[in-house]
Amino acid sequence: MRIIGGKYGGLRLSLKLPEGVRPTTDYSKEMIFNVLNHNFDFDGAKVLDIFAGTGGLGIETLSRGASHCTFVEKNRKVVELLQTTLEKVKIEKSQFTIKQNDYKKALKELEWEFHLVFADAPYLLKVSNEIYNHFAKQNLAEGGFLVIEYGSTERLILDDKLKLVTEKNLGETTISIFEKL
């Protein structure tokens, strides 16, 4: 895993990934953050990285000035890897919360609105429409951004609740970035 920019930019972490973990590729991460850098102010932002996996997206935001990231991950082994990664990067414990939880339960328990939300569910779950609808209605601050990474065979059913900023098809992966106006 590589941190692209900000305070920890250039830092490489060699991680032994548990089976089934599919981290966001550097190419995808660069595309996402190129779009966000032109549209979003990371300073002081509250971020949610749901289906966090290695935490690469959330860690990237902390590196760029976000004040706090909530990581949600169901798999205990992956949570342990995430904790180890955060320690290696030396991120202050006050800057993050890790919730070992199923995404449905986590969505019900969210305590505040987030400025930026990442959702990169396992593609077989096909939950992108559920995620879109949840954050279109609640837990995403006005002017906040929602980034959904999903399998290219899945189709999002969009309405006018969130503005589509960009959508990129990268082979088996599609990334859609929305803004709440």
User: Over pLDDT 90: what percentage of the chain?
Assistant: 81
Mean pLDDT in the chain?
A: 92
Kindly state the average pLDDT of the residues 150-160: 93
List, in order of start, the domains of the chain with CATH numbers.
26-179 (3.40.50.150)
Residue 40 reports pLDDT greater than 80? yes
Q: Which residue has tokens 């004040």?
A: 67
Which tokens belong to 122?
Answer: 């396992």
Could you give phi then psi for residue 46, rounded to 5 degrees? Answer: -100, 125
Tell me the per-residue pLDDT of 54-107, one tens digit each, with 9 for 90 and over.
899 999 999 999 999 999 999 999 999 899 999 999 999 999 999 999 999 999
Could you give phi then psi for residue 122, rounded to 5 degrees? Answer: -55, 130
Global pTM value: 0.94
Tell me the per-residue pLDDT of 106-137, one tens digit each, with 9 for 90 and over.
999 998 899 999 999 999 999 999 999 999 99
- For residues 17 and 54, the answer to whether their CB atoms sit within 8 Å is yes
Kindly state the average pLDDT of the residues 139-155: 96
Position 15 scores a pLDDT of 65
Question: Residue 14: pLDDT band by 50, 70, 90 thresholds?
Answer: low
Position 117 scores a pLDDT of 98
